[in-house]
Amino acid sequence: MQVLGLLDGKGALAVQDLKAELDRAGQELAYTTVMTVLVRLHDKGLVSRTKEGRRYLYAASRGAPKVTRGIVARLSRTLFKNDRVRPILTLLDDDGISDAELRALRSAIDGKLQDRTGKSRS
């Protein structure tokens, strides 16, 4: 999930680039471990790869966001017993969430409400 999240929207990245991103996030994994994860994600159709010189560049495939949403939905159902609001409320209880993250959450909620309001008026 973390590797897919790093690939989402960043374009194609090499294994060493992803490893560096994971290291910065506190996930210090061996190069071969990152490569194995990417190969498995590629085999499942969740990432695409293109050859550049001697290395491969990996990018999230079109189906990756749908799969990610499905995994998160299953995890949420399991942890929160189909209470769809609980995970968001849990975020609000996290003292580690930054002001910028709270503003981004507010903006996303406001945008969703605005979309629904606009659609219902159409």
Give the Cα separation of 7 and 91 in Å (integer).
23
Give the Cα separation of 35 and 58 in Å (integer).
10
Q: What is the mean pLDDT of residues 15-21?
A: 92
Give the Cα separation of 17 and 99 in Å (integer).
29
Give the Cα separation of 14 and 6 in Å (integer).
12
Among residues 37, 97, 48, which one has the least CA distance to residue 88?
Answer: 97
Average of per-residue pLDDT values in the chain: 83
Assess whether pLDDT exceeds 70 at residue 22.
yes
| pLDDT tens-place string over residues 67-94 | 667 777 777 777 777 677 777 777 788 8
Q: Which CATH class is domain 2-60?
A: mainly alpha
Tell me the CA distances in angstroms from 51 to 28, 33, 42, 109, one per residue in order. 25, 19, 13, 40
Domains in the chain: boundaries: 2-60, 85-122
Q: What is the pLDDT of residue 60?
A: 83
